[in-house]
Amino acid sequence: MADRYQRFASTGPGRLLVRRLGLPNPVPLRRHRPGDPLVPAPVLVGGGGRVTDAVHAALRSARVDTRSTPESDARYGALVLDATSIVDSRGLRALYDFFHPVVRGLTSCGRLIVIGTPPDQCDDSREATAQRAVEGFVRSMGKELRRGSTAQLVTVSVGAEHAVESTLRFLLSGRSAYVSGQVVRIDPVGAVPEVDWDRPLAGRTALVTGASRGIGAAIAEVLGRDGAHVVCLDVPAQGQDLSAVANRVGGSALQLDITADHAPGRLAEHLRDRHDGVDIVVHNAGITRDRTLAKMTEAQWDSVLAVNLTAQERLNDALLGADVLRRGGRVIGVSSIAGIAGNVGQANYATSKAGVIGMVRSLAPVLAARDVTINAVAPGFIETRMTAAIPLFLREAGRRMNSMSQGGLPVDVAETVAWFANPASTGVNGNVVRVCGQSLLGA
């Protein structure tokens, strides 16, 4: 359903009313379009920590106009501070000193990025304390920034400096339009594969469950755009819509109920025989059966857990056990902010989505030994047919209760999935990134 309030707020009378009454002002977000520059204005880089050289190298590779010295009255598309040199609380003044003079020069839909050290990687407690404090600064800046701008913290382990380019490209670009206030961790890896940044998934096979519509269809489209052959999977009842999506993205369709006893074996056999394996597995299939717990039936509880969590575990076991998922593979789960903050009437759904987060955290070190990563997206309010059916006032609350004052689009989730899937994102493992416009709900 169209966001009529946003359309009104962008008109002359709407802008005047919004300003006079102090109403939410949702500006159109900068989203990725082929051929657009990564950043529409120069990027100011500061800090001089251990990651600074890698940042400059990544920006040169992306042909970004980079500045190291602030200029009076300059406009910047992004502000990037390498804060890895901060080793105690007194050093936190560097955050103020760098951003205070220039933050008002950030363009509409600008980007603020701080690079830090994971606190558990610090040499002593004072450094760990200071590095953890940086997170509070970034989350606050995400709420202070206006006009569609975002703020992120990227923590880079020692030895992972060379693996930052994929994450920087994602966070600086319009692909991360609805991602803000997030912490991304990059851990040490070996060599980072060279990729064609326009088609980084060329030659790879991706599986997307629940691909017949909504977020699943958007994921299939973006992965296909990035060069992957997409195996689109959904239940037989969605066969017609599923085939339409598969045809649109140049992929193939597989009708299968992932909760069936035979589903893991059949899927593994299909991917091995038809595609010689799979490189990317996106666990998007999910259902809701909303009731307060006192009114919830056993079937409503069981069905949601079976589709949203247990099926993912069973499919992972089958694909990993039979070596169908290739080395260098990517497993990506779709969680939800309900799995972080909970939600009234969704105890079953929130349990399943929190379980997806638990699966990511627990499997990340196990899969790393096989050169496989696992991450998850946690969408907030995304404009789909499901959210369009929510009663008006609840729908408006969902749209406005975030730093962007608007709902996200399915493509916002899909772009985040594509970043995780990128071969150059090899150091990004065990992350759960909310795609929620920095929702006021949850952490």
How confident is the model over 202-217, as pLDDT tens digits? 999 999 999 999 999 9
Helix axes 214-225, 239-249, angle to 10 degrees: 20
What is the model's pLDDT at position 2? 64
- How confident is residue 391, by pLDDT bands cut at 50, 70 and 90? low
User: For residue 439, which phi and psi values (nearest 5 degrees)?
Assistant: -55, 145
Any domain includes 192: no
The neighbour count for residue 302, using CB atoms within 10 Å, is 14
Degrees to nearest 5, angle at CA 189 with 438 and 64? 55
Q: Do 268 and 138 belong together in one domain?
A: no
Label residue 25 by pLDDT band (50, 70, 90): confident
Number of domains in the chain: 2
Catalytic residue, candidates 5, 76, 178, 349: 349
Note whether 30 and 100 are same-domain residues: yes
Better-predicted residue by pLDDT, 58 or 9: 58
Render pLDDT for 336-365 as a digit per residue (tens, 0 to 9).
999 999 888 999 999 999 999 999 999 999
Hey, what are 195's tokens? Answer: 């990729």
Give the pLDDT confidence score for residue 72 in this predicted structure. Answer: 82
Q: Is 349 a catalytic residue?
A: yes
Question: Is there a domain that residue 49 lies in?
Answer: yes
Q: What is the pLDDT of residues 103-159, one digit of tens each?
A: 999 999 999 999 999 999 999 999 999 999 999 999 999 999 999 999 999 999 999
What confidence score (pLDDT) does residue 387 get? 67
**Which is more confident, 140 or 397?**
140
Inform me whether the pLDDT recorded for 93 exceeds 80: yes
33 domain residue, yes or no: yes
Is residue 56's pLDDT more than 70?
A: yes
State the pLDDT at residue 6: 76
pLDDT of 7 above 60? yes
Please state the φ and ψ torsions of residue 13, each to the nearest 5 degrees: -60, -35
Q: Is residue 195 in a domain? A: no
Give percent of the chain with pLDDT exceeding 70. Answer: 96
Query: Is residue 155 located within the same domain as residue 234?
Result: no
- Residues 215 and 352 placed together within one structural domain of the fold: yes
- Are residue 175 and residue 219 in the same domain, yes or no? no
Residue 36 has pLDDT above 80, yes or no: yes
Which residue is it, tokens 């627990």?
362
Rounded to the nearest integer, the mean pLDDT of the chain is 93
Label residue 401 by pLDDT band (50, 70, 90): confident
Token reading at 12:
């002359």
Same domain, 288 and 229: yes
Asked if residue 368 and residue 274 are part of one domain, the reply reads: yes
Q: Is residue 8 part of a domain?
A: no
Mean per-residue pLDDT for 414-442?
Answer: 93
Which of 159, 186, 213 is the C-terminal boundary of a domain? Answer: 186
Residue 412 has pLDDT above 60, yes or no: yes
What is each CA distance from 86 to 91, 186, 269, in whole angstroms?
A: 5, 18, 52
Q: Do residues 158 and 257 both lie within one domain?
A: no
Is 156 a domain residue? yes
The parent domain of residue 296 ranges over 205-435
The answer to whether residue 5 is domain-embedded is: no
Residue 443: pLDDT above 60? no
Q: What's the CATH code of the domain at 47?
A: 3.40.50.720
The number of angstroms, rounded, from the C-alpha of 256 to the middle of its chain's C-alpha atoms is 27
Q: Are residues 157 and 260 in the same domain?
A: no
Q: 112 and 247: one domain?
A: no
For 289-306, what is each residue's pLDDT tens digit?
A: 999 999 999 999 999 999
Residue 318 has pLDDT above 90, yes or no: yes
Confidence of residue 3 (pLDDT cuts 50, 70, 90): confident
- Which are the contacts of 295, defined by CB distance < 8 A and separation ≥ 6? none
Residues 421 and 409: their CA atoms lie apart, in Å, by 19
Domain shared by 96 and 178, yes or no: yes
| pLDDT band per the 50, 70, 90 thresholds, residue 442 | low
385 has pLDDT over 90: no
* In-domain check, residue 197: no
Q: And the tokens for 34? A: 């082929």
Nearest to 419 by CA among 173, 110, 71: 173
Burial class (CB in 10 A: 0-12, 13-18, 19+), 252: middle
Same domain? For 148 and 213 the reply is: no
